[in-house]
Amino acid sequence: MPVSRQALFGARGSKRMSSQEAGSIRLVRKNNPEAVGLEAAGMVANQLVEKPDSTLVFPTGNTPLPMYKALLHMPHLNWKKSRLFHLDEYVKPAGYNRPVPYETYEDYMRRELWDCLDANKHYFSHYTDNPAAYEAQVNATGGPDLVILGIGANGHIAFNEPGSAKDSPARTIDLADQTILSNFGSVGKQGYPTQAVTLGLKTILSAKRIILLATGEGKRDILKRALDPSTPADPAIPASFLKEHPNVTVITDFDL
C-alpha cells in the first residue's frame, strides 16, 4: 500500500517509516538544499563528537555540496582521528592521462572538503586497479560508522548500478547509459569514463548509520519507488536495500 504524506511526515517534519523487513527509515523534510546540507552536516558533526575516530564515507555529486559547505563552517570540529573514505571513483578511460576532461572524485573531495581538514584521508583513485583493497581498508577500521549517500536517477547508490546484489563487494562496474548521460551529458563521449570503481552494497549496508540526501523534484519518483514499504528490496533499484537497514535517515527538500 502506498504511504501517504501524512503517514510519512509528522508535525515536526520528521517521522519513522517502518519497512517490510527489519529496518525503519527516518524521513526528514527540509525547505531547501541548504537546509538539507545543514541537517546532514549537523549529523556528521554529532558523529565526530560522539566518536572522534569515526570511519566516515562521503558521496560526490551536486546534492551533498551544501553539506560540505556547512561542514567547512564548523571550524571547531576535530577531524584528526577520523578515517575518511569516499564511495566511488571513475576509471580513467584507456589511453587518457591527466588532464582528463572531467573532474575525478578525488579532485572533488579535495576541493569541497578534504584539503581543508587534518584527517586520515583515503582516496579511491589510488585503488582503481584494486577496489577490493580499498574496501578492505574501510573494513580494517572496524567498518563504516556513518555512510552518507546521494541517489542516482536510476536508483544507484555510490556506483552500485541496477542489478547490484545486496551483498555485492567493491568492484569495477560498467556505468549505466543513464548514469553516463546524467554525469557527462552525452552517451559515449570520447575521453569520458564508461566504468567506475565503487564500494559494494555489502560494506555500505554494514554501516552503523546511513544518511541519504535527495534534493530537487527530479529525485522524488525514484526515491519514492526505492523506499516504498509495500514492495520488497530489489536489485533493480539498489537504493531499495536501505529499507532493510536498521538506521537510515533520508533528508529531502520535497514531500515524498
Query: Measuring CA to CA, how many Å separate 49 from each of 43, 62, 125, 246?
Result: 10, 26, 29, 22
x/- site string to ligand GLP, residues 65 to 104, per CB under 6 A?
A: ----------------------xx----------------
Give 40 or 87: the residue with its C-beta nearer to ligand GLP. Answer: 87
Nearest to 228 by CA among 3, 34, 54, 66: 3
Whether 139 is a known active-site residue: answer: no
Burial 31-67 (b: 16+ CB within 10 A, else e): eebbbbbbbbbebbeebbeeeeebbbbbbbbebbbbb
Q: By CB under 6 A, how many residues form the interface with ligand GLP?
A: 14
- Side chain identity at 33, as an amino acid letter? P
Among 33, 152, 193, 229, binds ligand GLP (CB under 6 A): 152
CB of 166 to ligand GLP, least distance (A): 18
CB of 190 to ligand GLP, least distance (A): 20
Whether 39 is a known active-site residue: answer: no
**Cell 560494506 -> residue:** 203
Give 25 or 173: the residue with its C-beta nearer to ligand GLP. Answer: 173
Q: Per CB under 6 A, which of residues 200..229 are in contact with ligand GLP?
A: none
Among 70, 71, 158, 226, binds ligand GLP (CB under 6 A): 158
Dihedral of the CA atoms 235, 240, 241, 242 (nearest 10)? Answer: 160
Whether 88 is a known active-site residue: answer: yes
Q: Does 62 bind ligand GLP (CB under 6 A)?
A: yes
Q: Which position among 120, 139, 154, 247 bears the catalytic label? A: 154
Give 23 or 193: the residue with its C-beta nearer to ligand GLP. Answer: 193
Q: Which position among 39, 88, 89, 135 bears the catalytic label? A: 88
Give 152 or 193: the residue with its C-beta nearer to ligand GLP. Answer: 152
Among 23, 33, 59, 144, binds ligand GLP (CB under 6 A): 59
CB 145 within 8 A of CB 55: yes
- At how many degrees (to 10) do helices 65-72 and 33-50 cross? 50
Q: Judged by CB under 6 A, which stretch of 60-68, 107-115, 185-193, 246-254 contacts ligand GLP?
A: 60-68
Q: Tally the C-alpha atoms within 13 A of residue 129's C-alpha that lie toward its C-beta.
A: 2
CB 56 within 8 A of CB 94: no
Q: Judged by CB under 6 A, which stretch of 58-66, 94-102, 134-142, 238-246 contacts ligand GLP?
A: 58-66
Whether 62 is a known active-site residue: answer: no
φ and ψ of 238, to 5 deg: -55, -35
Here the cell at position 108 is 572533488
Q: Tally the C-alpha atoms within 13 A of residue 90's C-alpha that lie toward its C-beta.
A: 24
- Give me the residues that bind ligand GLP (CB under 6 A), please: 59-63, 87-88, 150-152, 158-159, 179, 183
